[in-house]
Structure 1
Amino acid sequence: MKNLNGHITDFLNYYNKLDGDPGYAVMLNGPWGSGKTWFVKKYLESFEGAGGKCLYVSLYGVQSIADIESEFFRQLHPLLSSKAMKLTGKLLTGVLKTSFRFDYDGDDSADGSISSQVTSIDISQYLEKPGGFMLVFDDLERAVLDKVSLLGYINHFVEFQGCKVIVVGNEKEIEPSGNYLNIKEKLIGKTFLVSADFGAAFDEFVDRLSDSAKDFCLKNREMIFDYYERSGFNNLRHLRQILSDFSRLYEVLPDESSKKDGLLENILKFFLVLGMESRHGTLTQDEMKSLDSGVPSLLPGSKEEKESPFDELQKKYAGIGAYDMLLDGGMWADIIYNGKIERAALEESLRKSFYFIDERTPDWEVLWKYRDLSDPVFTDLLNKVSQKFNDRYYKDPLVLKHVVGLLTELSNIGLYSESVEAISDIARECVDNIAEEGGLLGRMDCSFPEQEYGGQLGFHGLDLDAFQDFSSYLANKYEEVTRLSYPSQAKGVVELLFSDISKFYGFMVPSNHGDQRYAEIPILKYVDPGYFADCLISISPVNRRVVCYAVLERCKRSSSFSVIKEEKDWLVSVVSILKEKSHENSGTLLGVQLKQYVDDFLVVAVESL
């Protein structure tokens, strides 16, 4: 790869070899993360290796000239500036009252000055070094100190001490006031824009990784560069962090991962994309968590109207797709944002991926990723799946839905010879058979025709009318079977009055926790009112109160569920029967109790419907 900043290196070499005072400083400009600091430090390594001397200071957070001078003193006199040589928090060196004056406009009159308490520093001994001497001021834009005063201070070294100086900063983050521009023009003789030089930085970045991660990244250097360029961010600082984080993930991947062709490359590819987008602020943690819901929009037959975060990523990074995620959005967010890696969950997710398919993986699940199959393998799998489908083999309703989606889509694009109508006929027959065998009971995952996922896989054919019709048929059949089962389920509800009164309450009353399976189902209308009243009377007084209170809370909290209003006639009948029972038992404690239950709970419940 071309050395993008080679011309800057050449000029700095020329600058440092100038005899006498150059009379100006060199500025290295560039956006945050472009590698300015990395570049200048690499240059200084070479410079010092050739016998040169330098003082380097980061201006990040610097509030006063004294802060800079303290750092210079530390570098010039490491022993004197050590903790052992400090007394009551003050350096043993003296302090000079110094005033720097500077001329903005070149008319030989002072236009400003800086007065500060600075440590006494003598750098003259370094100016005649054979290899040269250089001062470097990094992070100009991050200094708290006024930029005009700061440049005036730097100008002192150039103009009065004859130093060679490099100033590093991002000028886009510096307000270009008149005074700043004037003194910059006087001080800076040459400005270079530092380019993010991937080729020069990459080898050093990966050299810091573990041996195995280093070898893998070097092997995939071109792919890393490709995705780095596609991001458009040109941020080497981010790339270094991402590669470091990837090394940590790489070390905990299952040992078999290296034997699965393409798996590690897919993980690296997705790690790069999510790492760069998150660090640049274009993909939030919540958006990353939601990537799962965006995946179906990338699958064949999606009907997404609004582009999901995943859609945006795929537009920018052509070549990533639903299959590359391997981990769900929540797990990726934990890894990228929180540095949290749960090895067991990570291994479980990877083992469920296509890369770990073996002889135990169902044929339809292998066919689900048909776009990555060879023609012979595809043909063999399609024959096996279609034969099982024609034999009405599939008894799990969600598996059947996946198979129907696959075959419908393949028929639609001309890869399966059966017509969509023939597929639909067999599919409906399979649903009827499953329903007759009781396979739909309790399968709420079949009740939503618009759902896009079945298990961890998205359905194929989502935008095809035939598949949508089938999904609606399956959901309607589920509703039908469920309604027909209510009378028998209602008997089980009444049995809870005797076996588990707490479960009865939990089933019947809407809440934010627990199993509320009948909270939105008018199950009580399938119970004979007289039988319910008799059961209520036969349990303990404490449990009677719980049951009546549950009925009241059910009616009050379920007022927004119109379906519960179907129980109103049933409840009115129960109230009537209990009033008769109370009258029959007048003069007894039971009679008083029944009247209280009716008046305090059940009548109020009826009124709330």
Structure 2
Amino acid sequence: MGINRTEVRDFLKDWANTNSKPHFAVLIEGRWGCGKTHFVTRLLEDETFTDRKPIYLSVFGIADIQSLETSLFYASASTATKTLHKSVGLAGSIFSGALTLGTGGILGGTANLNKVVDAATSQLEQSAKNMDGALLVLDDLERCQIPMSELLGVVNRFVEHGDTRVILCANTDNLDDKHFSAFKEKVVGQSFLLASDPDSALASFITEIGQTEARELLLKHQGDILYLYGKSGFHNLRALRQFIWQLASILEKMKREYRQNDKLVQNLITQFFIFFIEFKLDLADETSSLKPQDLLGKYDEDRDEVRHVCEFSFDKDKEPTPKRRVFEKYEQHNGIRTVITVQNWISILTSGVVDADRLNAELAQSDEVAGVAAWPSWRRLWHLYDWDFSDGSETEFWSDVEDMQSNLKDGRYVEVGEFLHVVGVSIMLADHKLIDQTVPTTIAQLKTYIDEMFVTQLTDERCRGVTESFGRHLDSYDGLGFIGREDAEFKDVMKYLVGKMDAWHHTWMSEDAGKELLKFLAEDWVRFFGNLTIINHAPEQRYLDVPILATIDVKTFVDAWFSLSRHDERLVVGSIKNRYEYRTELLDAEGSWWRDIQVELSHRIAISKSKPRNVQINNLINHINSSIIEKWELRQFSEFSSGNSTDLSWMTRKRVGNK
């Protein structure tokens, strides 16, 4: 456990100002981000702490003693007092041959303190004279490239042969230099382990904010920020400081009327903290690897108005995803309904730029500003039992009923989750006789809507969203559970919907999916092959187990193939052949398709007048034969021999061209 910082400060003040020379350095230890740098720099900036000239130098990245000497010389050369000096960077030494270390001993691993000290030159001694009577802080020891024995030998020169007080700052967990422990005993007389001190650090970070109104808001919501910081469990003050600076830029861009909306500001702070710490900085272990784009649902990328971040899990025994663990950590069990669109949050997180016009326009549509007036009619009707009809709002209620039915008539409900909310609300209204239709009539109308309106506007993304994101146990969307989801009437409509979507998707896969995929061959190489086989950085991998190639017209495929450069043309078969390494069953449907490709290639040779080009095409035929056809034929022979031939083709292939 870290020691109280006030006690550390008191010790350092006595140590720095004592007239007798302590002849030892002080080590401030602590994990990365615990606030070591902030702690010592605040001491150096405090006029009452010491009369010594403060010098701060980060040794992060300094490669050798010569570079260190140069940085120390610059940092100590000023005669001004009470100025916080910082390293001028890793400039090359202005002193030719400034240090000459003894051979063998130091770099050979047998160096002792005397040899290191003797290696100091007159220029280093000049730096020592400049720093005599100073308070020197050397930060980031664990990220210095100089061997620790040499670095601490230089420190010893200052504390033993001058009147410099030296504070060393390091995350000693990352210091594995074998000389460190031995030299620490000789040079460091006292060490302190600092724990994270978020209360005082946050107060300090907020005082650094120059925008008055933003600073006042941060002070007002200081408790909320500390609560979130505690929930995070990371204890990283550097991350907290970054968050405060970024948050201030958002608050500054908000209209004054919105800054005065406490609930809006509180929710904005909560959302930005979670998104910034967990998705932007991703401070969790490497297995999480969350990024801003993960805030969107898997099939929400093309939707600009998404205002809900969620991750539902219907399998109680399944290990929660990293995204789900984040929501549970901050007790956001139903996800987060955002004050601005998720796309805007992603833009702010990735670019660091806040578009004031867009920000305020979206805040105006938030629940916290517009209230229930900004909700779609079905959402207000979902809250039927919360309505206070004594306030004369019954007119609005009937208006919402009419609006929802009008939207149904016009086919405006195209998202699966939203439509199922409309299903639940419609059945509820019919059951309570709040609409003219009976429950059976309502169910029939909803099924007609599915046939005539919903299915006709389907996309592959929405269908896959049901099977891959929701699963087959849909029970909520947009933070709300479906009304009557356990009732037979609701399940009847949902089963009908899923069945129709399956049928549509089956047809789409057999007729249109291959055509859409083929467009990527010339436009987006990674996307095309990433859909077929495992490659790095593929944006999607839809057809790793689906015999999609068998649905593509042979002649059309060859035309697209030949539109590539000759270099890329040669790579096609080699890029696809790995598809069959671990999924040989795909050859049952695609093997004969590749045979047809060979036939089409032979036809191209027959009608070509270019002998060199025919050589190239014939090479493609041979490549297909050795990489794919031989595997297919071997599989056919094995299945025939075993008497267990299996046709895994699940789609009707429509073929055009030579066979």
Do they fold alike, i.e. is TM over 0.5? Answer: yes
Correspondence for 1:138: 139
Aligned equivalents of 2:189 and 2:494: distance in 1?
Answer: 72
Correspondence for 2:170: 169
Aligned equivalents of 2:378 and 2:197: distance in 1?
Answer: 47
Q: Is the contact between residue 299 and residue 460 of structure 1 (CA under 8 Å) also seen in structure 2?
A: no
Deviation at 1:153, TM superposition (A): 1.5
Q: Which amino acid aligns with 2:378?
A: W
Secondary structure in structure 2 of the residue aligned to 1:290: helix
Q: Is the contact between residue 334 and residue 479 of structure 2 (CA under 8 Å) also seen in structure 1?
A: no
Instruction: Give the alignment of 1:20-59 within 5 angstroms.
Output: 20-46=20-46, 50-59=50-59
Q: Which amino acid aligns with 2:420?
A: K
Instruction: Give the alignment of 1:175-574 within 5 angstroms.
Output: 175=176, 177=178, 179-209=179-209, 210-253=211-254, 257-258=258-259, 260-277=261-278, 278-282=280-284, 287-293=291-297, 307-319=320-332, 321-327=334-340, 329-342=342-355, 346-347=359-360, 349-355=362-368, 356-357=370-371, 359=373, 361-367=375-381, 384=397, 388=401, 394-395=408-409, 396=411, 398=413, 401-405=420-424, 425-432=440-447, 434=449, 439-440=453-454, 442-444=456-458, 457=478, 460-461=481-482, 464=486, 466=488, 467-474=490-497, 510-511=516-517, 553=556
Bigger Cα displacement from structure 2, 55-64 vs 114-123: 114-123
Q: Is the contact between residue 114 and residue 152 of structure 1 (CA under 8 Å) also seen in structure 2?
A: no
Q: Over the residues paired in the alignment, what is the CA RMSD in angstroms? A: 5.3
Aligned equivalents of 1:73 and 1:424: distance in 2?
Answer: 86
Q: Is the contact between residue 26 and residue 188 of structure 1 (CA under 8 Å) also seen in structure 2?
A: yes
Q: Which amino acid aligns with 2:494?
A: S
Bigger Cα displacement from structure 2, 391-400 vs 159-168: 391-400
- The Cα offsets for residues 69-115 of structure 1, whole Å up to 9 and x where unpaired, read as 323322333499x9xxxxx987599968798999xxxxx99576552
Q: Is the contact between residue 377 and residue 403 of structure 2 (CA under 8 Å) also seen in structure 1?
A: no
Q: Which amino acid aligns with 1:333?
A: I
Q: Which amino acid aligns with 1:605?
A: V
Bigger Cα displacement from structure 2, 393-402 vs 134-143: 393-402
- The Cα offsets for residues 1-51 of structure 1, whole Å up to 9 and x where unpaired, read as x99411100111121233321122111001111111111011112257642
Aligned equivalents of 2:67 and 2:297: distance in 1?
Answer: 52
Secondary structure in structure 2 of the residue aligned to 1:605: coil
- The Cα offsets for residues 462-500 of structure 1, whole Å up to 9 and x where unpaired, read as 9646444322324556899999xx9xxxxxxxxxxxxxx
Q: 1:272 to 1:369 in 2, by over 3 A?
A: farther
Q: 1:319 to 1:410 in 2, by over 3 A?
A: farther
- The alignment of Structure 1 onto Structure 2 pairs a total of residues equal to 486
Bigger Cα displacement from structure 2, 317-326 vs 388-397: 388-397
Q: 1:370 to 1:26 in 2, by over 3 A?
A: farther
Deviation at 1:224, TM superposition (A): 0.4
Aligned equivalents of 2:291 and 2:392: distance in 1?
Answer: 38
Q: Which amino acid aligns with 2:126?
A: I
Q: TM-score, normalised by structure 2?
A: 0.60
Is residue 121 from structure 1 mapped to residue 129 from structure 2 by the alignment? no
Deviation at 1:195, TM superposition (A): 2.1
Correspondence for 1:520: none
Q: Is the contact between residue 404 and residue 423 of structure 1 (CA under 8 Å) also seen in structure 2?
A: no
- The Cα offsets for residues 401-423 of structure 1, whole Å up to 9 and x where unpaired, read as 32333577999xxxx979xxx99
Q: Is the contact between residue 553 and residue 657 of structure 2 (CA under 8 Å) also seen in structure 1?
A: no
Secondary structure in structure 2 of the residue aligned to 1:203: helix
Q: Is the contact between residue 381 and residue 397 of structure 2 (CA under 8 Å) also seen in structure 1?
A: no
Correspondence for 1:521: none
Q: Which amino acid aligns with 2:206?
A: V
Aligned equivalents of 1:144 and 1:370: distance in 2?
Answer: 67
- The Cα offsets for residues 359-405 of structure 1, whole Å up to 9 and x where unpaired, read as 4754323355789x687799978993799399966534736532333
Deviation at 1:268, TM superposition (A): 1.1
Deviation at 1:297, TM superposition (A): 5.7
Q: 1:508 to 1:196 in 2, by over 3 A?
A: closer
Correspondence for 2:14: 14
Deviation at 1:435, TM superposition (A): 6.8
Secondary structure in structure 1 of the residue aligned to 2:46: helix
Q: Is the contact between residue 27 and residue 190 of structure 1 (CA under 8 Å) also seen in structure 2?
A: yes
Correspondence for 1:567: none
Deviation at 1:233, TM superposition (A): 1.3
Aligned equivalents of 1:204 and 1:171: distance in 2?
Answer: 26
Q: Which amino acid aligns with 2:330?
A: Y
- Highest Rg: 1 or 2? 1
- Structure 2, unpaired ranges of 5+: 86-90, 107-111, 299-307, 521-551, 561-585, 589-653
Q: Is the contact between residue 29 and residue 194 of structure 1 (CA under 8 Å) also seen in structure 2?
A: yes
Q: 1:476 to 1:31 in 2, by over 3 A?
A: closer
Deviation at 1:248, TM superposition (A): 1.9
Q: Is the contact between residue 309 and residue 336 of structure 2 (CA under 8 Å) also seen in structure 1?
A: no
Aligned equivalents of 1:408 and 1:351: distance in 2?
Answer: 32
Deviation at 1:604, TM superposition (A): 7.3
Q: Is the contact between residue 131 and residue 164 of structure 2 (CA under 8 Å) also seen in structure 1?
A: no
Secondary structure in structure 1 of the residue aligned to 2:166: strand
Deviation at 1:322, TM superposition (A): 2.6
